Amino acid sequence: MALASLFTPTLIPLPTTSTFSKPHSSVPSFSSRTKKRCRIVRSVAEDREAVSMSENRRVLEEGSSSSKADIDVARDSDDIFTGRAINATIVLGFGAFAVTKLLTIDHDYWHGWTLYEILRYVPEHNWIAYEQSLKANPVLAKMAISGVVYSIGDWIAQCYGGKPIFEFDRARLFRSGLVGFTLHGSLSHYYYQLCEALFPFQQWWVVPAKVAFDQTVWSAIWNSIYFVVLGLLRLDSFTDIYGELKSTFWPMLTAGWKLWPFAHLITYGVVPVEQRLLWVDCVELIWVTILSTYSNENSQSRKSEEVSETMSSTSSQNSECLHTYKYDSEVMFALVVYWGMK
């Protein structure tokens, strides 16, 4: 029995779980705070990762935009060179044609002539040919003169505005020449006849009266026609055309008073009716330069203002969104630090 008792296992009582257990309320409090902190830290980390990804995307976009800008610069240089070549061809071609026509007016009679005789009769015989064309078709002859003058005037205006001599805007020059050819030549032909019918007197006051009528009624009508037709050819909206006409009507009318009254003293006092448009077109080389400069500067300034307003509004919206996003990330990080210290 004694020996059996030695091999009999003795049961040792185990401690109850109540000895090592903690209050049940502390466990959910600790886990919920930890989970909350983990969620906040994870959100801040995600925000930082999104910011870094957006910055990397922005860097990539800037690199691609810079490469595109280089390509655009090379393409623009090629376009400028091509435009210069086309413009030089147009100018030199028309110039050579005009000089050839003027100098070879007497080519049928050159036999036996010296160079001095050829140059001596060139002005006189060209004038005779112009008068003959006026008698044959006065309206068409005046339309051609006005078209040439308005084209040259716009070219001068572009060069005066800073463009090189062979980098002019062909579309702008064509628009101005088209207005001069289709409207100014024909309307001026009938206007001078109307002016003679309205003032058929020979007294001393007739010339000042014609000048006053020209610089009020006719100038207002023609300036309005010029600006409206150029706006239509540029495909501008009616609102823009009206705004441009409203802003330039009075300045252009008063600017003409500094030039035309003195020129029209010769127009209505010395020059015959059929020759008036030629004299006026010679003076209009100056006036068309002013008109074209006013019209195109207003159009370009209006378009540049619209583009700048659009770009400024877009950039302000982007900066506000980026500032708000960064502000939210900073607030979240500050809250994490604050809750971590509690």
Q: Structural domain boundaries of the chain?
A: 83-136, 138-304+327-341
Residue 120's pLDDT band, with cuts at 50, 70 and 90, is confident
| Predicted confidence band of residue 268 (pLDDT cuts 50, 70, 90) | very high
Q: Write down the pLDDT at residue 80.
A: 85
- Which range (15-19, 70-74, 90-94, 112-116) has the least confidence? 15-19
How many angstroms separate the CA atoms of 194 and 7, rounded? 147
pLDDT for the residue 191: 95
DSSP string, 195-251: HHHH----STTHHHHHHHHIIIIIHHHHHHHHHHHHHHHTT--HHHHHHHHHHHHHH
Minimum mean pLDDT range among 107-111, 122-126, 169-173, 182-186: 107-111
Tell me how far apart the alpha carbons of residues 334 and 44 are, in angstroms, rounded to a whole number.
10
pLDDT band (50, 70, 90) for residue 338:
very low
Q: Give pLDDT, residue 272.
A: 92
Residue 25: pLDDT over 50: no
Task: Output 300 or 258, whichever has higher pLDDT.
Answer: 258
267-295 residues labelled b (16+ CB within 10 A) or e (exposed):
bbeebeebebbbbbbebbeebbbbbbbbb
pLDDT of residue 304: 54
Average pLDDT, the chain: 76
In the block, which residue shows the tokens 């705070």? 33
Distances, alpha carbon 15 to alpha carbons 71, 82, 226, in Å: 83, 99, 109
Dihedral of alpha carbons 93, 97, 100, 103, sign: negative
What tokens does 101 get?
A: 């026509």
Q: Which of 130, 272, 132, 133 minimizes the C-alpha distance to 192?
A: 272
- For 247, phi then psi, to 5°, come to -80, -20
Q: Which residue has the higher pLDDT, 120 or 336?
A: 120
Q: What is the mean pLDDT of residues 135-148?
A: 93
168 vs 62: which has the higher pLDDT:
168
Question: 67 or 191, which is more confident?
Answer: 191
Residue for token digits 């090189």? 164
For the cut 50, the answer to whether the pLDDT of residue 307 exceeds it is no
40 contacts 329 by C-beta, under 8 angstroms = no
pLDDT at 340: 44
The 3-class SS string of 133-202 reads HHHHCHHHHHHHHHHHHHHHHHHHHHHHCCCCCCCCCHHHHHHHHHHHHHHHHHHHHHHHHHHHHHCCCC
Q: How far apart are the first and last CA of the chain?
A: 67
Note the pLDDT of residue 118.
Answer: 81
Q: How confident is the model at residue 44 (pLDDT cuts 50, 70, 90)?
A: low
Of the two residues 316 and 78, the one the predictor is more confident about is 78
pLDDT tier, 64 (very low <50, low <70, confident <90, very high otherwise): low
> In terms of pTM, does the model score above 0.75?
no
Q: Span 229-250, mean pLDDT?
A: 90
Distance from C-alpha of 342 to C-alpha of 337, rounded to nearest angstrom: 9
In whole angstroms, give the CA distance from residue 165 to residue 155. Answer: 8
142: left (phi over 0), alpha (psi -120 to 50) or beta: alpha
Tell me what percent of the residues of the chain surpass a pLDDT of 70. Answer: 63
Name the 3-class secondary structure at 322.
helix
| 205-219 per-position pLDDT tens digit | 999 999 999 999 999
Residue 290: what residue type?
Answer: I
Which residue carries 């240089």 as its tokens?
Answer: 77
In terms of pLDDT, which residue wins out, 37 or 151?
151
pLDDT in tens, 295-306: 666 555 555 555
